[in-house]
């Protein structure tokens, strides 16, 4: 597969991040049911939050944005 020019690769990465963020904010009842059955619901939500935080930071980095010190993104778990 040929390499994309840097600007196109940049846009493709931002698109992929946005798709992953959308997926992480989609309710997946089957996975939540499995987590509840295995007793790891809290851990599942913690991992989802870590992934959202990472992806938002990566997106901001690619877009040249920085989060001011002491300020964070809203918690994924706050909306549940």
Q: Would you say 76 and 51 are in contact if contact means Cβ atoms under 8 Å apart?
A: no
CA-closest candidate to residue 26, choices 63, 75, 62, 80: 80
Tens of pLDDT, residues 26-71:
999 999 999 999 999 999 999 999 999 999 999 999 998 765 544 5
69 token code pair:
């010190």
Count up the domains in the chain and report the number: 1
Higher pLDDT, residue 25 or 80 = 25
Please indicate, yes or no, if residue 30 is contained in any of the structural domains. yes
Query: 23 lies in which domain range?
Result: 12-64
Please indicate, yes or no, if residue 2 is contained in any of the structural domains. no
Please indicate, yes or no, if residue 7 is contained in any of the structural domains. no
Please indicate, yes or no, if residue 37 is contained in any of the structural domains. yes
DSSP result, 25-43: TS--HHHHHHHHHHT-HHH
- pLDDT the model gives residue 80: 45
Please indicate, yes or no, if residue 29 is contained in any of the structural domains. yes
| pLDDT score of 79 more than 50 | no
Residue 5 has phi, psi (to 5 degrees) of -60, 155
| pLDDT score of 72 more than 90 | no
Q: Residue 10 contacts by C-beta under 8 Å, 6 or more apart in sequence?
A: 62
């Amino acid at each position: 597969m040929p390499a994309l020019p840097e600007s196109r690769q940049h846009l493709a990465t931002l698109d992929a991040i946005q798709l992953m963020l959308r997926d992480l904010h989609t309710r997946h009842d089957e996975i939540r049911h499995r987590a509840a059955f295995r007793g790891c619901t809290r851990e599942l939500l913690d991992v989802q939050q870590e992934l959202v935080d990472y992806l938002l930071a990566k997106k901001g980095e690619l877009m040249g944005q920085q989060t001011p010190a002491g300020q964070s993104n809203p918690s994924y778990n706050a909306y549940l």
